[in-house]
């Protein structure tokens, strides 16, 4: 791997190596630009993926250098419901390794539907909601969805349905197995007149581009993939970036500031290396791809005389319109075994309720997914029916009776962007690097709670239709953090109400690009990764085109 000195004025520093950062690194470096990628986490098992552990206990207790997610005891964060509350310690975490969250995610790769790019025009204003139209259309993004699906490697089956985004090309790899839970979805859907589709998943069901197909090991979401079947940035984009000879990936690099000069242009970034020593890396331009929470925090930390509210924040919108990701889980016990611990987390979705319906009396929709994911320790500790005994002879009996018989439906539900839901800098709590901790302030819109309740009821209907017994569904609750965080640097045409333009360039800073989930104007149905990836391919295309026309210094 090529190495640059910090004083080398590289073309781009990319902050983050996940869903978006990996793509930016590969696209820019293979097009001849000199790139340094700064990643907070370590290498993971990059290049020796067969060493990824499938030992549940070890995976739950990683050594510091084997961590795949951020550590809330070091990357501290706080949470509060609203401005009146004092924030308390939060559990928010995110992918923190070369490849970011794509190293461990479930891999759901749904596109947003065409109307999800102009929901405001589509449904009209909603009181208390910051719903807005995107500055781009589905048609503008469609070629990049296709590019992402084919370059990353997505398994799936193209369908013609009003509930699924239209595609110009098939998926490159056939779908992953439907699983027993998916078969139950089919049975329930047949009775209730619903539509089941194979989930588009970033896990290859067959060999593709030199990688092995999934062996359905079952130690899936939350684990690194030992056969490289999960199409993470770490096995798809980063190796190509490194092979270009133009890209250096620097791990354990914790960025604390994006630096600017008197003219308001970015000059480079300051980060802590693995020994917490400060390093300034010079760059002609910066791409910020650190995830919605971290990208906004870094901008807010990058204050200067010229940017007193934080970098790229003349609008005051940085950090706002945060969407964390609401889900609803409902389970029941089936007569026959599902053995759903085998295979990927989810193989099938029911998509009829993706669109909203005014008749329901609220705005929102969602995607129902058939889940079954009980690794043995998790099953023993948390997997049983809540009314089953917790210990003793009764517990053991329940362990045996319920094992592999649980059918869970997880719905991924709309969360509207609200101006008041946001991340900012905690005034008291510091992270392990002495920087202000991320503070999350969030309460979902009343409609979002109604949406969750709707999916709770629909899930019960489906479970009943397939004969599930002892159905349980706790009261709905909204998210307090996690890897699906979106918004915070929304895209738009108006510099007064948005942070980046339609090509991901910061309105206020010509040589700063923000490319990650923070750009999402609306959150879709809480399946963000494929849209983040498509936006990254599109942003890279435009940066490359512009840079070729002039020079990077004129960006």
Taking the complex as a whole, how short is the minimal distance between the CB of residue 308 and another protein, in angstroms? 42
Rounded distance between C-alpha atoms, residue 281 and residue 452, angstroms: 45
Rounded distance between C-alpha atoms, residue 276 and residue 252, angstroms: 9
Decide if 526 contacts 413 (C-beta within 8 A). yes
- Give 103 or 311: the residue with its C-beta nearer to another protein: 103
Q: Which two tokens stand for residue 242?
A: 């490194």
- Give 177 or 436: the residue with its C-beta nearer to another protein: 177
Q: Which two tokens stand for residue 21?
A: 């950062």
Taking the complex as a whole, how short is the minimal distance between the CB of residue 399 and another protein, in angstroms? 6
- Give 57 or 434: the residue with its C-beta nearer to another protein: 57
- Give 89 or 377: the residue with its C-beta nearer to another protein: 377
Exposure class string for 105-144: b at 16+ Cβ within 10 A, else e: bbbbbbbbbeebbbbbeeeeebeebbbbbbbbebeebbeb
Rounded distance between C-alpha atoms, residue 517 and residue 290, angstroms: 9
Taking the complex as a whole, how short is the minimal distance between the CB of residue 178 and another protein, in angstroms? 6
Residue with tokens 């990683």: 62
- Give 167 or 399: the residue with its C-beta nearer to another protein: 399
Report the interface residues with another protein, using CB under 8 A.
51-59, 61-66, 177-184, 186-187, 190-191, 215-219, 334, 336-343, 376-377, 379-381, 390-393, 395-396, 399-400, 403-404
- Give 141 or 368: the residue with its C-beta nearer to another protein: 368
Taking the complex as a whole, how short is the minimal distance between the CB of residue 407 and another protein, in angstroms? 9
Taking the complex as a whole, how short is the minimal distance between the CB of residue 190 and another protein, in angstroms? 5
CA nearest neighbour of 287 among 30, 540, 8: 540
Taking the complex as a whole, how short is the minimal distance between the CB of residue 340 and another protein, in angstroms? 7
- Give 370 or 547: the residue with its C-beta nearer to another protein: 370
Burial of 63 per CB tally in 10 Å (0-12, 13-18, 19+): exposed
Q: Which two tokens stand for residue 7?
A: 């004083």
- Give 216 or 497: the residue with its C-beta nearer to another protein: 216
Taking the complex as a whole, how short is the minimal distance between the CB of residue 171 and another protein, in angstroms? 18
- Give 61 or 549: the residue with its C-beta nearer to another protein: 61
- Give 191 or 496: the residue with its C-beta nearer to another protein: 191
Taking the complex as a whole, how short is the minimal distance between the CB of residue 288 and another protein, in angstroms? 29
CA dihedral 133, 134, 140, 143 (to 10 degrees): -120
Taking the complex as a whole, how short is the minimal distance between the CB of residue 432 and another protein, in angstroms? 17
3-state secondary structure 301-325: HCCCCCCCCCCCCCCCCCCECCECC
Taking the complex as a whole, how short is the minimal distance between the CB of residue 374 and another protein, in angstroms? 9
CA nearest neighbour of 179 among 158, 201, 212: 201
Taking the complex as a whole, how short is the minimal distance between the CB of residue 465 and another protein, in angstroms? 11
Decide if 229 contacts 213 (C-beta within 8 A). yes
CA nearest neighbour of 18 among 550, 535, 553: 535
Decide if 379 contacts 442 (C-beta within 8 A). no
CA dihedral 329, 340, 525, 209 (to 10 degrees): 160
Alpha helices (H) in 408-528, listed in sequence order:
446-465
- Give 127 or 393: the residue with its C-beta nearer to another protein: 393
Tell me which DSSP letter residue 210 carries: T
DSSP 386-416: TTS-SSHHHHHHHHHHHTT-EEEEEEEE---
Residue with tokens 């009996």: 397
Rounded distance between C-alpha atoms, residue 501 and residue 482, angstroms: 26
Rounded distance between C-alpha atoms, residue 515 and residue 100, angstroms: 14
Q: What is the helix (H) or strand (E) element at residue 370, kind and residue range?
A: strand 366-371
Taking the complex as a whole, how short is the minimal distance between the CB of residue 184 and another protein, in angstroms? 5
Rounded distance between C-alpha atoms, residue 460 and residue 473, angstroms: 8
- Give 266 or 351: the residue with its C-beta nearer to another protein: 351
């Amino acid at each position: 791997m090529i190495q640059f000195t910090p004083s080398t004025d590289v073309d781009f520093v990319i902050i983050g190596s996940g869903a978006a950062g990996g793509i930016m690194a590969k696209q820019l470096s293979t097009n001849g630009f000199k790139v340094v990628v700064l990643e907070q986490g370590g290498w993971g098992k990059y290049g020796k993926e067969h060493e990824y552990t499938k030992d549940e206990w070890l995976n739950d207790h990683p050594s510091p250098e084997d961590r795949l997610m951020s550590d809330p005891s070091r990357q501290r964060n706080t949470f509060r419901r609203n401005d009146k509350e004092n924030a308390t310690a939060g559990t928010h975490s995110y992918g923190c390794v070369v490849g970011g969250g794509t190293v461990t995610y479930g891999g759901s790769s749904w596109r947003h539907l065409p109307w999800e790019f102009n929901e405001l025009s589509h449904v009209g204003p909603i009181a208390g909601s910051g719903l807005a139209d995107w500055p781009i259309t589905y048609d503008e993004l469609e070629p990049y969805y296709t590019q992402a699906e084919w370059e990353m490697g997505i398994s799936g089956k193209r369908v013609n349905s009003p509930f699924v985004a239209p595609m110009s090309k098939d998926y490159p790899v056939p779908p992953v197995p439907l699983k027993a839970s998916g078969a139950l979805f089919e049975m329930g859907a047949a009775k209730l007149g619903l539509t089941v589709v194979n989930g588009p998943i970033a896990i290859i069901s067959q060999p593709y581009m030199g990688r092995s197909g999934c062996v359905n090991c079952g130690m899936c979401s939350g684990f690194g993939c030992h056969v490289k079947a999960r199409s993470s940035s770490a096995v798809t984009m980063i190796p190509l970036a490194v092979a270009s000879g133009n890209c250096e990936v620097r791990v354990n690099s914790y960025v604390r500031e994006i630096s600017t000069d008197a003219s308001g242009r970015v000059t480079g970034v300051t980060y802590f290396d693995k020994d917490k020593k400060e390093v300034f890396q010079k760059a002609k331009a910066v791409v910020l791809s650190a995830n919605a929470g971290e990208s906004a925090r870094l901008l807010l930390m990058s204050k200067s005389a010229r940017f007193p509210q934080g970098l790229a924040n003349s609008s005051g919108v940085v950090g706002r319109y945060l969407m964390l990701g609401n889900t609803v889980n409902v389970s029941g016990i089936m007569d026959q075994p599902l053995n759903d611990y085998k295979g990927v987390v989810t193989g099938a979705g029911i998509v009829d309720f993706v669109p909203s319906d005014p008749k329901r009396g609220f705005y929102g929709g969602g995607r129902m997914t058939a889940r079954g994911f009980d690794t043995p320790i998790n099953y023993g500790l948390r997997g049983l029916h809540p009314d089953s005994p917790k210990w003793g002879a009764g517990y053991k009996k329940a362990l045996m009776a319920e094992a592999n018989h649980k059918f869970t439906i997880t719905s991924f539900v709309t969360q509207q962007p609200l101006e008041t839901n946001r991340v900012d800098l905690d005034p008291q709590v510091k992270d392990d690097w002495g920087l202000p901790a991320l503070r999350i302030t969030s309460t979902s819109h009343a409609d979002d709670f109604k949406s969750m309740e709707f999916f709770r009821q629909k899930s019960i209907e489906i479970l009943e239709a397939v004969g599930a017994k002892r159905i349980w569904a706790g009261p709905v609750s909204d998210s307090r953090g996690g890897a699906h965080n979106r918004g915070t640097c929304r895209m738009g045409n108006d510099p007064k109400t948005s942070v980046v333009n339609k090509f991901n360039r910061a309105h206020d800073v010509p040589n700063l690009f923000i490319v990650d989930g923070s750009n999402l104007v609306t959150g879709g149905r809480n399946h963000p990764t494929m849209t983040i990836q498509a936006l990254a391919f599109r942003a890279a295309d435009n940066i490359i085109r512009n840079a070729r026309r002039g020079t990077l210094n004129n960006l």
